């Protein structure tokens, strides 16, 4: 079951939180809605769930598997919701929390007591919390509570799962464990899921599709690889991953950023002389002890080697500070130390002039 969103806007007072947004959430996939605070992620999620109404616009629609649900109440949309703050019922055991949605079903569709018991046991196994059904939420860790919240959402067998910053309130390690767990769980269940996050690493690691939002609009959508390696806009380039930014100017046939000069033929004439921004990812900065053509001279300012790669802070001759990232092997080869002079050449660059990508 896919979710189709068409021309959705949402205005709060005079503020446009969503601006004519259209999007398809593909069936059976885990899609991440990624964007800075205030970009409209939660608003969109709540509109899909039916917890918020979009602006009245005859061209807008929300379809679940081809069927419009725009007029349907949240209860009739068959959506499971998991919030950032464990919305568990504090006075109910884990078992009763998970069983809640089943127990409150109209009697005609309500499963029997033994069916409910079986279903809850199955879900406790799925969330790897077998044997703690009798505990109260206060006796669980934050990560365990979020898993229970997920089991509770899954109990009623929703067609879709919407997760709003589900791991936002947890510490880094638990967060990482839970995101891997969510990915594995999704591979088992294949339930069409949409989860909101402002953490780009989380979005890139976990999802099949990433939708990047900014100011109520979609900047780019695609696979994690696509948005990381082929950012469509300057905003996406900046927002995803670490990046070095250099300011310069576009001249005839070239872009000049201090000592860095890059070939730029085929640029529209009206962009010449305009301010340009050059983006280079730290891992695409090649450091060498030799002065190759096109490289810039820089001095090692700081080395941070405690990690999977080595981060080196450098300062160019014209005073620009930037970062390069290299393997430990290459770092040892180069025998880098503080204050050493090196030559740096960018392997892959992106240049933006106004809204145009060179
Ligand atoms: P965060 O990551 O901080 O949760 P978000 O991307 O989910 O941000 P939203 O919660 O969707 O953003 O909010 C989008 C914008 O709409 C924000 O500027 C917010 O202040 C505004 N907004 C959201 N709900 C309301 C409301 N009920 N009344 C007025 N303004 C609102």
Q: For the segment 61-109, what is each residue's pLDDT rounded down to a tens digit? A: 999 999 999 889 888 888 888 887 767 888 999 999 999 988 888 888 8
Best mutation site among 14, 19, 38, 54 for ligand 1 pocket (most ligand atoms within 8 Å of CB): 38
Q: How far is CA 332 from CA 120, 329, 335, in A?
A: 54, 5, 5
| Interval between CA 218 and ligand 1 midpoint (Å) | 15
**Average pLDDT of 166-174?**
78
pLDDT of residue 311: 97
From first CA to last CA, the distance across the chain in angstroms is 39
Atom 2 of ligand 1, nearest CA residue: 37
Give the rounded percent of residues in the chain with a pLDDT score beyond 70.
100
Whether 335 is in a domain gets the answer yes
In degrees and rounded to multiples of 5, residue 43 shows phi and psi of -60, -45
What is the DSSP secondary structure assignment for residue 112, as one 8-state letter? Answer: P
In degrees and rounded to multiples of 5, residue 108 shows phi and psi of -60, -40
Whether 104 is in a domain gets the answer yes
> Out of 92-96, 139-143, 170-174, 289-293, which region has the weakest mean confidence (pLDDT)?
170-174
Same domain? 36 vs 107: yes
CATH number at residue 327: 2.40.50.140
- Please give the Cα distance from 69 to 58 (Å, whole number): 14
> Out of 125-139, 225-239, 328-342, which region has the weakest mean confidence (pLDDT)?
125-139
Same domain? 86 vs 217: yes
**Residue ranges lining ligand 1, Cβ < 6 Å:** 12, 17, 35, 37-43, 198
Of 210, 232, 254, which closes a domain?
A: 232
**Average pLDDT of 321-337?**
96
pLDDT of residue 86: 60
Same domain? 211 vs 268: no
Same domain? 224 vs 254: no
| Interval between CA 43 and ligand 1 midpoint (Å) | 6
pLDDT of residue 308: 93
- Are 137 and 90 contacting, i.e. CB atoms less than 8 angstroms apart? yes
Q: What's the pTM?
A: 0.86
- Please give the Cα distance from 141 to 246 (Å, whole number): 45
Whether 238 is in a domain gets the answer no
pLDDT, tens digit, for every residue of 260-308?
888 888 788 888 888 999 999 999 999 999 988 878 999 999 999 999 9
| Interval between CA 52 and ligand 1 midpoint (Å) | 12
Whether 12 is in a domain gets the answer yes
pLDDT of residue 223: 97
Check pLDDT > 70 for residue 30.
yes
- Please give the Cα distance from 340 to 298 (Å, whole number): 8
Atom 25 of ligand 1, nearest CA residue: 12
Same domain? 105 vs 175: yes
Whether 239 is in a domain gets the answer no
Same domain? 197 vs 294: no
pLDDT: is 112 or 43 the higher one?
A: 43
> From the alpha carbon of 43, which atom of ligand 1 is closest?
11
Whether 201 is in a domain gets the answer yes
- Domain carrying residue 332: 244-357
pLDDT of residue 235: 94
Total domain count, the chain:
2
Of 189, 206, 232, which closes a domain?
A: 232
Atom 21 of ligand 1, nearest CA residue: 17
Residue 45 tokens read as 């999620």
Residue 72 tokens read as 């349907």
Same domain? 251 vs 316: yes
Whether 265 is in a domain gets the answer yes
Same domain? 179 vs 306: no
Best mutation site among 14, 16, 17 for ligand 1 pocket (most ligand atoms within 8 Å of CB): 17
Side-chain-facing half-sphere of 226: CA atoms under 13 Å: 12
Whether 296 is in a domain gets the answer yes
Of 173, 199, 232, which closes a domain?
A: 232
CATH number at residue 123: 3.40.50.300
Same domain? 178 vs 321: no
Give the rounded percent of residues in the chain with a pLDDT score beyond 90.
57
- Please give the Cα distance from 22 to 219 (Å, whole number): 12
Same domain? 162 vs 13: yes
């Amino acid at each position: 079951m896919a979710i189709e969103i068409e021309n959705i806007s949402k205005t709060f007072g005079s503020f446009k939180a969503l601006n004519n947004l259209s999007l398809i959430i593909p069936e059976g996939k885990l899609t991440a809605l990624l964007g800075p605070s205030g970009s409209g992620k939660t608003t969109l999620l709540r509109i899909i769930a039916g917890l918020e109404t979009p602006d009245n616009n005859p061209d807008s629609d929300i379809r679940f598997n081809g069927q419009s649900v725009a007029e349907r109440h949240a209860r009739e949309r068959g959506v499971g919701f998991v919030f950032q703050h464990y919305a568990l019922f504090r006075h109910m055991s884990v078992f009763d929390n998970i069983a809640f949605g089943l127990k409150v079903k109209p009697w005609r569709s309500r499963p029997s007591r033994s069916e409910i018991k079986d279903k809850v046991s199955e879900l406790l196994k799925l969330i790897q919390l077998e044997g703690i059904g009798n505990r109260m939420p206060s006796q669980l860790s934050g990560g365990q509570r979020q898993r229970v919240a997920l089991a509770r959402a899954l109990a009623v067998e929703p067609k879709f799962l919407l997760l709003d910053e589900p791991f936002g309130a947890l510490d880094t390690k638990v967060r990482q464990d839970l995101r891997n767990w969510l990915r594995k769980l999704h591979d088992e269940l294949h339930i069409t899921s949409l989860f909101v996050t402002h953490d780009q690493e989380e979005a890139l690691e976990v999802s099949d599709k990433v939708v990047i939002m900014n100011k109520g609009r979609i900047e780019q959508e695609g696979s994690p690889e696509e948005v990381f390696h082929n950012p469509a806009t300057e905003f996406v380039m900046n927002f995803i991953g670490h990046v070095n930014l250099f300011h310069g100017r576009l001249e005839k046939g070239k872009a000049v950023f201090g000592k860095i000069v890059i070939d730029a033929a085929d640029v529209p004439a009206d962009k010449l002389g305009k301010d340009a921004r050059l983006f280079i990812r730290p891992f695409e900065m090649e450091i060498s002890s030799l002065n190759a053509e096109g490289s810039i001279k820089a001095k090692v300012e700081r080395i941070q080697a405690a990690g999977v790669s080595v981060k080196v802070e450098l300062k160019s001759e014209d005073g620009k500070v930037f970062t390069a990232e290299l393997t430990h092997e290459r770092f040892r080869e180069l025998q880098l130390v503080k204050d050493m002079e090196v030559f740096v050449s960018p392997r892959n660059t992106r240049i933006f002039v106004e809204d145009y990508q060179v």
